[in-house]
Amino acid sequence: MAINKKHFEELLKKYEAGHCNENEKQLLIAFFEAYQKKQNWQKELGDKKALESELLGKINSRIAHKEHVPLPYAGKSILKPFLRIAAVIVSILIAFAVYKYSNIPNDKKGQLATIQKVTQKGQKSTIILSDGTQIRLNSDSKIIFPEKFGREKREVLLEGEAFFDVSRDEKRPFIIKTKDLTTTVLGTSFNVKAFPQEITQVTVATGKVQVTSGKNQSAVKSNLLVPGEQINYDPSSGQMHKNEVNIERFLAWKDGILNFEEIKLYEATKILERWYGVTFTFDNDAMRNCKIVKGTYKNENLFNILKSFQYFLEFDYKVVNRNQIIIFGNKC
């Protein structure tokens, strides 16, 4: 006679109430043995023999105490009937433990510690996750991830910018959550930029990426991206747009390259703040929207970059308190 989940639950209730007959006990043991062959004991409950020994030891102790027989005599014939019963009980208890464990939701099984990695302004970091995924974390960014991923998904939280080279795992999608977007992949490489109060961008280098916005089901928007495509999400309007882009422009940062192209001076200074750990202010707000047409810099000194900007735009600057820079100018 086969035993299914419902039948097993009914038999456990009967056993706990003391109403199980011998045939029903044998069914429980058979279920346990079948389950044992399918499961990894070491991962779920530890060593099986150690668990059996522990349970049997406790039962022996109770029997010896009840019959007033010292433990050294536990092997005598007077206890053999009790030991046979104990063996049945041990098997059923183990089956019950495995069954209960297997029905705990994945997010509650052995909750592991989360790890948080933070880069300060002027810093960058390379992180390798437990599944082999590699992350290049840009300056002034934060990522939170579990010490070890669960069975159904791999999920991380990001604030700032990071390049992901995700190890492929078709059974466990890799999910990056930012304040406004959810990015889901199986295995690919892509860049996510999600700084507070800025346009959020997802740029794909290889593979396919699913990007979703909206917390309410009725307002959810989703886009599938392939290499060379980018999503731009404006948190102020909730608008999401897909474009084809030159990916090198958006991925160069991970190789120590600053790539400015058709960018406002204010936006460029925000990037420089994160890279060099400085703060910019404008003496005249009219200068903020002046546009830098193009400029590429690899491991360049900050002040050499500012001098380069001066060739395109008419402005001057002053350094105050070592890391505060004031930009002066009246026109672009």
pLDDT, one tens digit per residue, over 218-267 is 457 889 999 999 999 998 888 899 999 999 889 999 999 999 988 999 99
Sorted by sequence, the CB contacts under 8 Å of residue 326 that are 6+ apart come out as 280, 281, 282, 283, 317, 318, 320
Q: Which residues contact 139 (CB under 8 A, 6 or more apart)?
A: 119, 120, 121, 122, 123, 124, 160, 274, 275
Map out the domains of the chain with their CATH numbers.
Answer: 5-103 (no CATH), 114-245 (2.60.120.1440), 256-328 (3.55.50.30)
Task: Supply the angle between the helices 265-276 and 302-312 in degrees, to the nearest 10.
Answer: 170
Please say whether the beta carbons of 32 and 98 come within 8 A: yes
Give the separation between CA 60 and CA 102, rounded to whole angstroms: 28
219 secondary structure, DSSP code? G
The pLDDT tens digits of the residues spanning 153-190 come to: 999 999 999 999 999 998 999 999 999 999 999 889 99
What is the reported pLDDT for 88?
54
Q: What does the pLDDT profile of the chain (332 residues) look like in tens digits? A: 555 556 666 766 676 667 777 776 666 666 555 544 444 444 444 454 554 555 455 445 544 444 443 443 344 443 444 445 555 555 555 555 555 544 444 444 455 688 999 999 999 999 999 999 999 999 999 999 999 999 899 999 999 999 999 999 989 999 999 999 999 998 899 999 999 989 999 999 999 999 998 765 445 788 999 999 999 999 888 889 999 999 988 999 999 999 998 899 999 999 999 999 999 999 988 889 999 988 999 989 999 999 999 888 888 999 998 889 999 988 77
Residue 243: Cβ-neighbour burial (10 angstroms; 0-12, 13-18, 19+): exposed
Rounded CA separation 138/7 (Å): 55
pTM equals 0.64
Residue 16: strand, helix, or coil: helix
CA separation for the pair 120, 76 (Å, rounded) = 70
- By C-alpha distance, which of 244, 10, 280 is closest to 121? 280
Half-sphere exposure of 95 (CA within 13 A, CB side): 25
Alpha carbon 138 to chain centroid, angstroms? 17
The predicted pLDDT at position 237 comes to 87
Distance CA 196, CA 149 (A): 27
DSSP code per residue over 131-180: TS-EEEE-TTEEEEEESS--SS-EEEEEEEEEEEEPPP-TTS-EEEE-SS
pLDDT of residue 238: 86
Contact 280, 269 (CB under 8 A): yes
CA dihedral 265, 270, 271, 277 (to 10 degrees): 130
Helix (H) or strand (E) holding 230: strand 229-234
Structure-token match 């509650």, residue found: 108
88 to each of 35, 97, 288, how far by Cα in Å?
A: 16, 14, 79
Residue 183 gets which letter from DSSP? E
